[in-house]
């Protein structure tokens, strides 16, 4: 009797395992296809964003998320775009959908930085400081968070905290223009003239490039000299709140 039962049981198990294997392979194939579709929608959204077609970009980002909900990168890009065009309330609603644990450290830091931008738009500086702090905790190598947190502490009169953050600043080159301007002002205020002058060199080159695009050769030559940028902005750097103007 036992031998007779063993045959059906074994074959039943084989059938179940085979069926599960087929389902797993099908799910993996479906997920791969969904990923590819999401990538195409993201590419479409980014092209629309570059062309200034906001509604089309929003729709494409949403399509990317709907076709593959595990891809929170699409939501992050959508939130970033909404912040850029000043739709802060919508951006906040979108970013709240992202479980931070699903993102790598730099992605988590980017979410916190966007929330800081949203809080600043509503003049909630204290909440923005908290978000900058969270961004730096998520990714200590995020120099944007470090610079902005340093400037924020300076605004609150916490000069020691501001200076400590500056000491950990390692790489300014390659950061967005506004972040480098803030770094220049806060470095100059804390008498870190050596690094401030290096930053001024990069900033003056950027300004010269802008003047070159406008065809103003004289202004291009003027701003190409880094010490001119340095001296021209030195009076502004004496005010500890100047850097906050670039938030």
Q: What is the pTM of this model?
A: 0.74
Q: Would the pLDDT of 156 be above 70?
A: yes
Q: What is the enclosing helix (H) or strand (E) of 53?
A: none
pLDDT 10s digits, 45-82: 889 888 888 889 888 888 888 888 887 888 899 899 99
pLDDT for residue 96: 93
Specify whether the CB–CB gap between 184 and 206 falls below 8 A: no
Q: Would the pLDDT of 108 be above 80?
A: yes
What would the DSSP string read from start to end of 147-206? HHHHHHHHHTT-HHHHHHHHHT----TTS-HHHHHHHHHHHHHTT-HHHHHHHHHHHHHH
Q: Output the CA–CA distances (angstroms, integers) from residue 30 to 27, 63, 172, 239, in the order listed.
A: 5, 16, 43, 58
* Sign for the pseudo-dihedral over CA of 110, 116, 122, 123: negative
pLDDT for residue 40: 87
pLDDT for residue 113: 96
Other CB atoms within a 10 A radius of the CB of residue 109 amount to 25
The mean pLDDT value for 112-119 works out to 95
Q: Would the pLDDT of 85 be above 60?
A: yes
Q: Would the pLDDT of 9 be above 70?
A: no
Average predicted confidence (pLDDT) for the chain? 79
Q: Would the pLDDT of 24 be above 50?
A: no
pLDDT for residue 224: 52
What is the C-alpha separation between 52 and 173, in angstroms, rounded?
28
What is the C-alpha separation between 110 and 97, in angstroms, rounded?
14
pLDDT for residue 230: 65
pLDDT for residue 243: 59
Both tokens assigned to 182: 């803030």
Q: Would the pLDDT of 106 be above 90?
A: yes
């Amino acid at each position: 009797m036992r031998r007779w039962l063993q045959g059906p049981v074994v074959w039943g198990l084989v059938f179940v395992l085979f069926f599960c294997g087929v389902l797993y392979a099908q799910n993996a194939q479906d997920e791969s296809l969904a990923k590819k579709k999401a990538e195409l929608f993201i590419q479409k959204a980014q092209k629309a964003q570059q062309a200034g077609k906001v509604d089309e970009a929003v729709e494409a980002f949403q399509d990317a998320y709907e076709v593959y909900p595990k891809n929170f990168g699409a939501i992050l890009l959508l939130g970033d775009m909404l912040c850029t065009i000043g739709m802060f309330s919508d951006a906040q609603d979108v970013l709240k959908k992202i479980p931070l644990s699903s993102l790598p450290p730099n992605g988590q830091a980017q979410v916190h930085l966007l929330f800081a931008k949203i809080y600043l738009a509503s003049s909630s500086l204290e909440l923005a400081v908290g978000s900058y702090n969270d961004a730096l905790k998520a990714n200590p190598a995020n120099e944007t968070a470090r610079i902005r947190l340093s400037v924020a502490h300076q605004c609150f009169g916490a000069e020691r905290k501001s200076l400590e953050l500056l000491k950990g600043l390692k790489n300014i080159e390659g950061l967005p223009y506004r972040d480098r301007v803030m770094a220049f002002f806060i470095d100059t205020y804390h008498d870190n003239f050596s690094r401030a002058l290096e930053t001024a060199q990069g900033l003056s080159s950027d300004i010269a490039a802008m003047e070159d695009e406008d065809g103003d050769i004289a202004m291009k030559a003027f701003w190409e000299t880094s010490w001119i940028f340095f001296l021209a902005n030195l009076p502004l750097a004496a005010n500890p709140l100047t850097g906050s103007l670039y938030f």
